[in-house]
Amino acid sequence: MRSTVAPGGVSDKTDADVAAALDRARFNADGLLPAVIQQHDTGEVLMLGWMDREAMRRTLTQGRVTFWSRSRQQYWRKGDTTGNAQWVRSAALDCDGDTLLVRVVQVGVACHTGTRTCFDGDELTVVADAASAASGEGVRGVAGSSDVDVPCDTAVEAGFVRSAGLGQRTEKGAARGIHNS
């Protein structure tokens, strides 16, 4: 389900639409759902937070992102104390309903450390053949062929997903039950 929030923070969804989205969401054993927060116009991933049912409801209906703080055991709305607010433009559940993507207009920085995103400044070394990944080596038959051989390190760039160890290949977006969690 995709939901949008009109300028001014008023949801264009009815109570029934929001209830249906909440029912479709698959919260974990702790009653939480990961929410990936993304800048709406650039696609930049800003942060990851956690929502319970009520935080998700507030996010979908009030136009500001609300999280559940696992450490403080309370709701917090991004920007209430810092001014670095996240205004909701749209939201979508993933194919399994167990992750929420919230596209926002970020005002100020997203990270409590003062960086633009929570992913700035801690680049990890990826153990892969970067030259092959960049050149697309090993990707063949991608354009509509059923004979697809896509190494895991190039799956994202090629737009395909392969389940590690099983050799199952599916088009990105059609993949079901393949998780890296």
Long-range contacts of 44-49 (CB under 8 A, 24+ apart): 44/116, 44/117, 45/117, 45/119, 46/86, 46/104, 46/106, 46/110, 46/111, 46/116, 46/117, 46/118, 47/110, 47/111, 47/117, 47/118, 47/119, 48/118, 49/78
In terms of domains, do 96 and 143 share one? no
| Torsion-angle region of 5 (φ positive above 0: left; ψ -120 to 50: alpha; else: beta) | beta
pLDDT digits (tens, 9 = 90+) for 126-170: 887 666 666 666 545 445 545 555 454 444 444 444 333 334 434
> Number of folded domains in the chain?
2
- Which structure tokens are listed for 110? 């997203």
In terms of domains, do 93 and 149 share one? no
Is residue 11 in a domain? yes
Is residue 181 in a domain? no
Is residue 122 in a domain? no
Confidence of residue 25 (pLDDT cuts 50, 70, 90): very high
Is residue 151 in a domain? yes
In terms of domains, do 67 and 139 share one? no
In terms of domains, do 141 and 57 share one? no
**Is pLDDT of 40 > 50?**
yes
In terms of domains, do 28 and 97 share one? yes
The CATH number that applies at residue 77 is: 3.10.20.810
Is residue 115 in a domain? no
pLDDT digits (tens, 9 = 90+) for 78-92: 889 999 999 999 999
For residue 137, give its domain range. 130-171
Is residue 125 in a domain? no
Is residue 48 in a domain? yes
In terms of domains, do 78 and 16 share one? yes
